[in-house]
A and B are shown apart, each in its own frame.
Chain A
Amino acid sequence: MSGNGAWALVALLLVPLVGGAVVTLLRRDDRVAKYTALGFSLVEFVLAILTLFIYNPNGARIQLSVSVDWIASFGVHLSFGVDGIALVMLAMIALLSPVVIGASWADKLPEGRSAAGYFALLLVLESLVMAVFAATDVFLFYVLFEVMLIPMYFLIGFYGGPRRQYAAVKFFLYSFLGGLLMLASAIGCWSYAQSVTGTGTFDWQTLTTVVSHAPLHTQIWLFMGFFFAFAIKAPLVPFHTWLPDATAEAPIGVGVMLVGVLDKVGIFGFLRYNLPLFPQASKTLAPLLLTLAVIGVLYGSFLAAGQSDMKRFVAYVSVAHFGFIALGVFAFTAQGQVGAVTYMVNHSISTGMLLIVIGMIMARGRSKMIEDYGGMAKVTPILAGMLFLAGLTTLSLPGTNSFVSEFLVLLGSFPTEPVYSILATAGMVLAALYVLWLYQRVMQGPVRGNALVEVASTGPGAASDPAVGAKKIIHDLSGREKLVLAPLVALILLLGFYPKPLLDVVNPSVTATLHSVGVTDQGLTQGGK
């Protein structure tokens, strides 16, 4: 059976997969492979835009649905469908993929690794992550949740930095453990459904009507399995330790996919699975989650300020932002959750841009340490401007996209959870600190640092004052790099000033999610934006 426009969703899931296969076949010529990969990702992007128009924001809860029997004896189906939350994430992935491919165009890969393999894995990853967001069968969701680790594992392990083996294995094991606990809970849901209705099922919509009425202690146990999986994936403090390692070792493009897309599965999982399936448990355990969220905001911010490695910096910034998002989700108000969902999108844009710009800096300086840079704005003014913009949207300056969401999160959480809301606001102040301090150290002042200046034998004076040394030749942004950043800049400004289209798509789904938790909140009609 399939709903209206299901073809678009199926195409959306298959195109990158086919692209991955084609690119693998073209591995003899890296150039052809790259263009093919870019072509497929652009086709995918066009498809995603089309899907946005097919989707009716005020229609059914799950649309474009398609379902085929898979393992009949366990009631497992291959079923896909999207709500507004999933749809904006699909669109986000479709946008980020060509950007990431463009940003990785000239990456120096480790010895003996082919660019074709890299791009093929990226496309396969894109397809799998999309499928994760689109799955409407809990079993299928689990399967894809684990399978998407495999391309990521190889992307980090093949193409990453010096400690890539450690990072790849750590990433894999953390997620795998979380996933297995989720599997236990999913089976628990199945058993519970069987004991109540007589037939076990993994269908999400059926489960939301059955499991949500389970006794509280059952709900809490089942909640915990999903919670661990998503808290590791999101990641919430204290389950976050894999993220800085993975981000620091992953190549820039992979880092963008990791922080921008993969981690969103965690928050998405809270919204799609934890809240509707276990409403009572969600409410009972909300203080725990809010505490973790606020700790994440503050802890992530402090550690971001203390980083000397730019990629780890982005990882900790993300930890702080995920804290904000979790705060919005578990405040149980429409404003908070709409804020959280739009924050998911905006975080992908802003952190994606921040990481890509840092990648461009690293491509010039061949170092990821902040201390190796200084005064770069004098040499590369456009790049400096881009870092500044990325920084401003990271610290949620009004007029940038992130501001809308962060403001909604704080606004939405204050009426129900004032203490957490106030504590989290301190995170906004810290954000200004760590972003501006990074910008100041890298871009401002005299040109200095090992990455930009030759410190070699120019006399004893040069060693103590690197600014005296010979400057390395460093170019500003190339045409390709400008093209890569252009869509992100456009979106930052567009969504900063006119976020209505995004809010309109997300709002009904958020209202429905809240409704399933028993909160009736008419969304943003009275709250405004």
Chain B
Amino acid sequence: MPVLTGIAPVLAATEAPIQAPSIDYGAIAPVLIILIAACLAVLVEAFVPRASRWGLQVALALLALVLSGLTLVLHLKFVTAAGTTTLAGTVSIDRPAMFLWGTLLVLGLGSLLLIADRTVEPGGYFVAGLDGNGAPDRSPLGRARRAMGGVGAATLLEPTRPAGRTAAYVPSRSAVRTSQTEIFPLTLFALAGMMVFCAANDLLTMFVALEVLSLPLYLMCGLARRRRLLSQEAAVKYFLLGAFASAFFLYGLALLYGYAGSVRLSDIAHAAAGTNRSDALLFGGLGLLVVGLLFKGSVGPFHTWTPDVYQGAPTPITAFMGACTKVAAFGGILRVLTVAFSSTSWEWRGVLWAVAIVSMFVGAIVGLTQTDVKRMIAYSSVAHAGFLLVGAIALTPKGLSGTLFYLISYGFATIAVFGVISLVRTADGEASHLSSWAGLAKRSPLVAGVFTFLLLALAGIPLTSGFIGKFVVFSAGIADGEGPLVVLALIASTIAAFFYLRVIVLMYFSEPSPDGPTVSVPGPFTTAAITLGVLVTLVLGVWPTVVLNWAGGGGFAL
């Protein structure tokens, strides 16, 4: 890629013998730990006997997250409010990046707990090689699955070949009894990609991170043990549209490089402050770049993949995508808009106003018509993306801290919501159709109560984190002169509240059907994930001060 030559303008300018850039290992240790753990996990897949893999993988992944979190906390006091960059200015080490990393790590921990659970879905959620008797499945579904698996493997596996190959091809009789464990290295790679994505200080690093986080996700979507056709359809759809979005991002990057002569965000900002360059390149580049980012954040009208993928992917993966991808995408959006494009904000803000409005209303209104819980939450996430955008385009410190707070509160609520969804089951898997949730409160008051609390949080009812999140984001919006947008957002919130209420009505006020679903008793992992999500949702709703202060600790490094 010729663009690569522009990556180190600093080095080129000095004309001295090439020096290795100084690397602040302490600062990037959290990412390094996750990446090393991911590589180790691949080795575990290759060399450890199948029987003992699962325990080792879970321990490794959890250990990596905890270690990474610890190094993050230890390094936190070295991060100034203004922030610095490292790796020749390609990675920012600033307070928002630290906050986003911390958010990603705790949300990743929650998702990992759901992923690791083997009690709710016996043997785990993920595809276990061939069918029970080892013979190829001759049903149309089986054929379609093989065809799709083939396509997926051929096109998707470049960066994660060992893991992906095992997932798609290796047949083993014992696979039926033991769980598949490729999901753990995939998750770790995706997580590392997300962490780099929201700390990337130049567009090329950002693009690489985007691919590192996306490719494992495409695969993970297709690994559902049940309803595989749906799952694989989701994976292909996500992959194709995601590839488009990546291409958009890359074209935008190219145009911006043409405009600014650099891919560094601060250089683009510097160039945009001058007047002697082509605005067509700048805004063309910005537009394409933002499309790629908005796609990842499932902001309408770039959300069309969201419902299908949320529905088709295995539920723990949906939780991971819903929570962590959103955090990473909005981390990226915040950084790009604030660092590179704040000087031209009055020229593009109108467009993003429109995008936010479309996203909120599409999410809220189409969400009303959904009959599947996972699709409903998917549309809810589109609406939430619109609300997030209200804070993100404010480009003020309050907008930044508000959006960060919203992300962490939304992430925890989402993980817990999908945790609960995974518990309500019929004989053929999750009972995601809304009608089967009728009268759930009679059968299982605790699960219904927890789910109600989470739905109220998503609706933004006070004393939940969702309310404080909306409050900080909207107040940032009003302070920045987005009054009409905030009023529209409030109306969209009310519309969205209707479909959350509809589920509560179903659970509490309707009679259960006799052949309704059962509520599984969750294993320790799922219990931990749901408890974590609910507790954080409550604590952030009642006493948000600490996290708000942390989120408002400083701005982006320039």
Residues of A at the B interface (CB closer than 8 Å) are 70-74, 112, 142-144, 146-147, 150, 154, 157-158, 164-165, 168-169, 172-173, 176-177, 180-181, 183-184, 187-188, 190-191, 194, 221
Q: Would you call B498 an interface residue if the criterion is a C-beta within 8 Å of the partner chain's C-beta atoms?
A: yes
B residues near A187, Cβ cutoff 8 Å: 471, 474-475, 478-479, 486
- How near does chain A come to B490, taking the closest CB pair, in angstroms? 4
B471-503 vs A, Cβ < 8 Å mask (1 yes, 0 no): 110110011000100110011011001100110
Alpha-carbon gap, A190 to B462, bound state (A): 18
Q: Which of A73, A173, A181 contacts B501 (CB 8 A)?
A: A173
Alpha-carbon gap, A146 to B483, bound state (A): 21
- How near does chain B come to A246, taking the closest CB pair, in angstroms? 14
- How near does chain B come to A483, taking the closest CB pair, in angstroms? 33
A residues near B467, Cβ cutoff 8 Å: 143, 146
Q: Which of B456, B475, B505 contacts A157 (CB 8 A)?
A: B505
Q: Would you call B434 an interface residue if the criterion is a C-beta within 8 Å of the partner chain's C-beta atoms?
A: no
Alpha-carbon gap, A449 to B497, bound state (A): 43
B455-468 vs A, Cβ < 8 Å mask (1 yes, 0 no): 01001011100011
Q: Which of B479, B493, B505, B509 contacts A180 (CB 8 A)?
A: B493
Contact B498 A173 (CB under 8 A): yes
A residues near B509, Cβ cutoff 8 Å: 157-158, 164-165, 168
Nearest first, the 10 closest Cβ-Cβ pairs linking A and B are A143-B462, A180-B490, A177-B494, A187-B475, A165-B509, A191-B479, A146-B462, A157-B509, A187-B478, A73-B548
- How near does chain A come to B91, taking the closest CB pair, in angstroms? 29
Known: A112-B442, A143-B462. 4 other contacts (CB 8 A): A71-B545, A158-B509, A172-B497, A187-B486
Contact B475 A74 (CB under 8 A): yes
- How near does chain B come to A251, taking the closest CB pair, in angstroms? 14
Q: Would you call B54 an interface residue if the criterion is a C-beta within 8 Å of the partner chain's C-beta atoms?
A: no
B368-407 vs A, Cβ < 8 Å mask (1 yes, 0 no): 0000000000000000000000000000000000000000
A residues near B505, Cβ cutoff 8 Å: 157, 165, 168-169
Contact A146 B478 (CB under 8 A): no
Contacts A157-B509, A164-B509 given; indicate if A184 touches B497 (C-beta within 8 A). no
B residues near A157, Cβ cutoff 8 Å: 505, 508-509
- How near does chain A come to B471, taking the closest CB pair, in angstroms? 7
B residues near A164, Cβ cutoff 8 Å: 509
Contact B548 A191 (CB under 8 A): no
Q: Which of A70, A143, A180 contacts B494 (CB 8 A)?
A: A180
Alpha-carbon gap, A143 to B474, bound state (A): 15
Contact A73 B490 (CB under 8 A): no
Contact B494 A173 (CB under 8 A): yes
- Show 25 residue pairs from A and B whose CB-CB distance is below 8 angstroms, ordered by the A residue: A71-B544, A74-B475, A146-B461, A146-B467, A150-B461, A157-B509, A165-B505, A165-B510, A169-B502, A172-B501, A173-B501, A176-B461, A177-B490, A177-B494, A180-B494, A181-B490, A183-B471, A184-B487, A187-B475, A187-B478, A187-B479, A190-B475, A191-B475, A191-B478, A194-B479
Contact B461 A147 (CB under 8 A): yes
Q: Would you call B102 an interface residue if the criterion is a C-beta within 8 Å of the partner chain's C-beta atoms?
A: no
Q: Which of B456, B474, B483 contacts A183 (CB 8 A)?
A: B474
Interface of B is mostly: helix
Q: Would you call B312 an interface residue if the criterion is a C-beta within 8 Å of the partner chain's C-beta atoms?
A: no
A residues near B442, Cβ cutoff 8 Å: 112
Q: Would you call B552 an interface residue if the criterion is a C-beta within 8 Å of the partner chain's C-beta atoms?
A: yes
Q: Would you call B343 an interface residue if the criterion is a C-beta within 8 Å of the partner chain's C-beta atoms?
A: no
Alpha-carbon gap, A112 to B439, bound state (A): 12
- How near does chain B come to A129, taking the closest CB pair, in angstroms? 15
Residue ID in chain A nearest B439 by CB atoms: A112
Alpha-carbon gap, A177 to B489, bound state (A): 11
B residues near A72, Cβ cutoff 8 Å: 545
Alpha-carbon gap, A147 to B467, bound state (A): 11
Contact B552 A73 (CB under 8 A): yes
Alpha-carbon gap, A374 to B544, bound state (A): 59
- How near does chain B come to A144, taking the closest CB pair, in angstroms? 8
Q: Would you call B80 an interface residue if the criterion is a C-beta within 8 Å of the partner chain's C-beta atoms?
A: no
B residues near A142, Cβ cutoff 8 Å: 462
B residues near A177, Cβ cutoff 8 Å: 490-491, 494
Alpha-carbon gap, A157 to B463, bound state (A): 21
Alpha-carbon gap, A485 to B552, bound state (A): 57
Contacts A176-B494, A177-B491 given; indicate if A169 touches B462 (C-beta within 8 A). no
Residue ID in chain A nearest B548 by CB atoms: A73
Alpha-carbon gap, A74 to B497, bound state (A): 25
- How near does chain B come to A73, taking the closest CB pair, in angstroms? 5
B residues near A112, Cβ cutoff 8 Å: 442
A residues near B471, Cβ cutoff 8 Å: 74, 183, 187
Alpha-carbon gap, A188 to B499, bound state (A): 28
- How near does chain A come to B454, taking the closest CB pair, in angstroms? 14
Residue ID in chain A nearest B541 by CB atoms: A143
Q: Would you call B549 an interface residue if the criterion is a C-beta within 8 Å of the partner chain's C-beta atoms?
A: yes
Within 8 A of A (CB), among B423-460: 442, 456, 459
Give the one of A168, A173, A191, A194 with max B CB within 10 A: A191
Q: Which of B475, B494, B508 contacts A154 (CB 8 A)?
A: B508
Give the one of B442, B475, B493, B497 with max A CB within 10 A: B475
B residues near A165, Cβ cutoff 8 Å: 505, 509-510
Contact B545 A73 (CB under 8 A): yes
Contact A176 B548 (CB under 8 A): no
Alpha-carbon gap, A190 to B548, bound state (A): 17
Alpha-carbon gap, A71 to B552, bound state (A): 13
Give the one of B456, B545, B548 with max A CB within 10 A: B545
Residue ID in chain A nearest B480 by CB atoms: A191
Contact A71 B548 (CB under 8 A): yes
Contact A184 B508 (CB under 8 A): no
A residues near B483, Cβ cutoff 8 Å: 184, 188, 221
Contact A158 B508 (CB under 8 A): yes
B148-171 vs A, Cβ < 8 Å mask (1 yes, 0 no): 000000000000000000000000
Residue ID in chain A nearest B481 by CB atoms: A191
B residues near A191, Cβ cutoff 8 Å: 475, 478-479
Alpha-carbon gap, A177 to B543, bound state (A): 24
Contacts A172-B501, A190-B475 given; indicate if A147 touches B463 (C-beta within 8 A). yes
Contact B548 A173 (CB under 8 A): no
A residues near B510, Cβ cutoff 8 Å: 165
Within 8 A of A (CB), among B302-339: none
A residues near B486, Cβ cutoff 8 Å: 184, 187
Alpha-carbon gap, A221 to B497, bound state (A): 24
- How near does chain B come to A27, taking the closest CB pair, in angstroms? 11
Alpha-carbon gap, A173 to B493, bound state (A): 10
A residues near B472, Cβ cutoff 8 Å: 74
Contact B475 A147 (CB under 8 A): no
Residue ID in chain A nearest B505 by CB atoms: A165
Contact B549 A176 (CB under 8 A): no
B residues near A183, Cβ cutoff 8 Å: 471, 474, 490
- How near does chain A come to B441, taking the closest CB pair, in angstroms? 10
Alpha-carbon gap, A194 to B396, bound state (A): 15
Residue ID in chain B nearest A139 by CB atoms: B471
Alpha-carbon gap, A73 to B552, bound state (A): 9
Contact A169 B490 (CB under 8 A): no
Q: Which of B456, B462, B497, B552 contacts A173 (CB 8 A)?
A: B497
B residues near A73, Cβ cutoff 8 Å: 545, 548-549, 552
B residues near A172, Cβ cutoff 8 Å: 497, 501
- How near does chain A come to B516, taking the closest CB pair, in angstroms? 16
B530-558 vs A, Cβ < 8 Å mask (1 yes, 0 no): 00000000000001110011001000000
A residues near B474, Cβ cutoff 8 Å: 183-184, 187
Residue ID in chain B nearest A144 by CB atoms: B462
Alpha-carbon gap, A180 to B508, bound state (A): 25
Alpha-carbon gap, A222 to B336, bound state (A): 34
- How near does chain B come to A179, taking the closest CB pair, in angstroms? 9
- How near does chain A come to B461, taking the closest CB pair, in angstroms? 6
Contact A176 B497 (CB under 8 A): yes
Residue ID in chain A nearest B506 by CB atoms: A165
Contact A184 B490 (CB under 8 A): yes
A residues near B456, Cβ cutoff 8 Å: 150
Residue ID in chain B nearest A154 by CB atoms: B508
